[in-house]
Amino acid sequence: KLPRRKMLLPLVALLSAALLASAAPPTCYSRVLSLSKEITESFKELQTSKTVDSCVETLPRLYLDIHNYCVLAKLRDFVAYPGCDRVVEVNELKEKARSLYTILISYCRRDLVFLTDDCNALEIPVSPPIEHS
């Protein structure tokens, strides 16, 4: 019985730690980071979709980096952009962008540190490094 208990104890500890980690509430930073990635991906999908209205091509670029102070202006510009109001996907994206902006300026204002204010960096997304196998 003793060897079985020795094997079960680490397993129980590991499962408990995993459950506690997944039950932890998201931090402001993690929420903002995940929402910005979600918005950026949705925008990419919208741009490449063949079934969406042609007005999507005129939308301002929406590459987001929450470490760049210019992201606030980028979000404001995107939400205020007058075109494509008839496209449901664009309205949904604007609503997510509005939510991110609100979280950034209200709830997370003191928790975030902007590392740069390079507005040009938000116009041209940085390509992820190519993995060599």
Give the Cβ contact number of residue 107 at 10 Å: 13
- 45 assigned to some structural domain: yes
Residue among 88, 39, 83 at smallest CA distance from 60: 83
What three-state secondary structure class fits 10?
A: helix
Please check whether residue 114 lies inside any domain of the structure: yes
Could you read off the pLDDT of 30-66 as tens digits, one per residue? 889 999 999 999 999 988 888 778 888 888 888 888 8
Render 35-101 in DSSP notation, one character per residue: HHHHHHHHHHHHHH-SSS-GGGGGSPP----TTBTTHHHHHHHHHH--TTTT-HHHHHHHHHHHHHH
**Is residue 44 within 8 Å of residue 65, measured between CB atoms?**
no
Q: Is residue 80 part of a domain?
A: yes
Q: Is residue 74 part of a domain?
A: yes
Residue 69 in any domain: the answer is: yes
The tens digit of pLDDT for each residue in 112-123 reads 777 888 888 887
pLDDT for 61-101, tens place per residue? 888 888 889 999 999 999 999 878 888 899 999 999 999 99
Residue 11: inside a domain = no
Q: Which domain holds residue 55?
A: 27-122
Residue 58 lies in a domain: yes
pLDDT for 133 = 47
Instruction: Name the token pair of 104.
Output: 């950034």
Taking only the tens place, the pLDDT of each residue in 5-38 is 555 556 556 555 555 555 555 788 888 999 999 9
Tell me the whole-structure pTM to 2 decimals: 0.70
Structural domains of the chain, count = 1
